[in-house]
Amino acid sequence: MPPITIQDLKVIVTQPLSTHQRMIVVKLITSEPGLYGLGCATFTQSYHSVVAALEQHFKPFLIGRDVSRIEDIWQMAWVNAYWRNGPVLNNALSGVDIALWDIKGKLANMPVYQLLGGKCREAAAVYVHADGRDPQEVIDNARAFMDQGYRYVRLQMGGYGGKDARDVRPPGSTPGAYYDAREYTRRMVGMLEKARAALGAEMEILHDIHERLSPIDALNFAKAVEPLNLFFLEDALAPEDIEWFAHIRAQCATPLAMGELFNHPQEWRWLIERRLIDFLRMHISQIGGLTPARNAAIHGAIYGIRTAWHGPGDVSPVGHAANLHLDLWAPNFGIQEWCRFPEVVYEIFPGCPEVRDGYMFPNDRPGFGVDIDEALAAKYPPTDEVLQWTQTRLPDGSPARP
């Protein structure tokens, strides 16, 4: 019997949410009539680049290849451009990789988590985001989530990095998204203290610094919130500063999550092997798909480090399903971020994972169990924009990391 091969690659871009969240879905069409796979390649900030990489480079590379050889295709595609480990090519590769796993599950007539080794749990606990303009509004929003059955809530106030910072920039300063890191620290620590007192010890509280503090300020922040017993503190440092995790770990016991901006295995490997973090937070399309995420989870399990895959609104439902199948399988699963899609997303992506009482459940269909209504997706075309929130600046006008 001849192998089933890749006959075509189609890229679908849709933007059903009002915010700047353009979802990129790869559809691999095979030589077997009616058999195709879907994968998430979402890099919303540079979606044109990913689409071009898929259509102009990956498609000719893939046509005619045996769909059963996932590992071989991944390794060859990873190095085919010679330079590697960048977000554009890795997101493109992720779309292909996840689609191939979807195809393999459909051929086996099994959910992908069965191919990985089967379930360790029936559903994945999730966390959601409670924001607010002041501490009381944050607390009220967190309580509303508790009433819906959520037990893990990430608390922010005024968005990332203290967007309500005083305007003290010098005259003539360049426009941008200004924030004051020191003011942010004072306000966020105060908010978290009030939230813990109001919500009690049973609520699992998380917080995301979003890499917006200098290393020494991040260290002080982690120490300041240590008495509050956070479930984890996310992205305390930028990838360029990860050596500082050794100093944070030496001085406090605040659980640490890291990895949202990581692209390649050497970044997370160093932290895993030194046991400097507690949760792996990678965006699985940015690191190349399910294949490297599976390897990272196994590596983390050896060192007692749990998973907490990135799951915002700019991960497509196909990507969320891939996260979920990893969550169900991994013995070292920790928590899963969840963005709470509106109904229109469920209409575009039939089979999108559902959350009930704070748990995300699979639908147990073959593959990842998610499909796409291409006609409906086309009614929400992507829009172009120059991103403003990433044009971050410090009070004196200096450029800063977002």
Evaluate whether 388 touches 45 at the Cβ level (below 8 Å).
no
Please identify which of the residues 20, 129, 210, 320 carries the catalytic annotation.
210
As a whole number of angstroms, the distance between CA 21 and CA 7 comes to: 29
As a whole number of angstroms, the distance between CA 290 and CA 29 comes to: 19
Q: What is the distance, to the nearest Å, from the Cα of residue 130 to the centroid of all Cα atoms in its chain?
A: 17
As a whole number of angstroms, the distance between CA 208 and CA 64 comes to: 44
Evaluate whether 228 touches 205 at the Cβ level (below 8 Å).
yes
State the CB neighbour count (10 A cutoff) for residue 266: 9
As a whole number of angstroms, the distance between CA 335 and CA 320 comes to: 13
Catalytic status, residue 57: no
Phi, psi (5° rounding) for residue 326?
Answer: -65, -40
* Helices and strands, number each (H, E), in the chain: 14, 15
Evaluate whether 354 touches 387 at the Cβ level (below 8 Å).
no
Q: Which two tokens stand for residue 270?
A: 């160093």
Q: Could you tell me the CA-to-CA distances from 62 to 73, 81, 304 in Å, in that order?
A: 8, 13, 37
As a whole number of angstroms, the distance between CA 306 and CA 334 comes to: 5
CA-wise closest residue to 341 among 375, 314, 379: 314
As a whole number of angstroms, the distance between CA 31 and CA 89 comes to: 25
Q: Taking the CA of residue 326 as centre, how many other CA atoms within 13 Å lie in the half-sphere pointing to its CB?
A: 35
The secondary element (H helix, E strand) that includes residue 174 is none
As a whole number of angstroms, the distance between CA 52 and CA 48 comes to: 6
The secondary element (H helix, E strand) that includes residue 112 is helix 112-116
Catalytic status, residue 160: yes
Please identify which of the residues 36, 160, 359, 380 carries the catalytic annotation.
160
Q: Which two tokens stand for residue 276?
A: 């400097």
The catalytic site residues sit at 160, 210
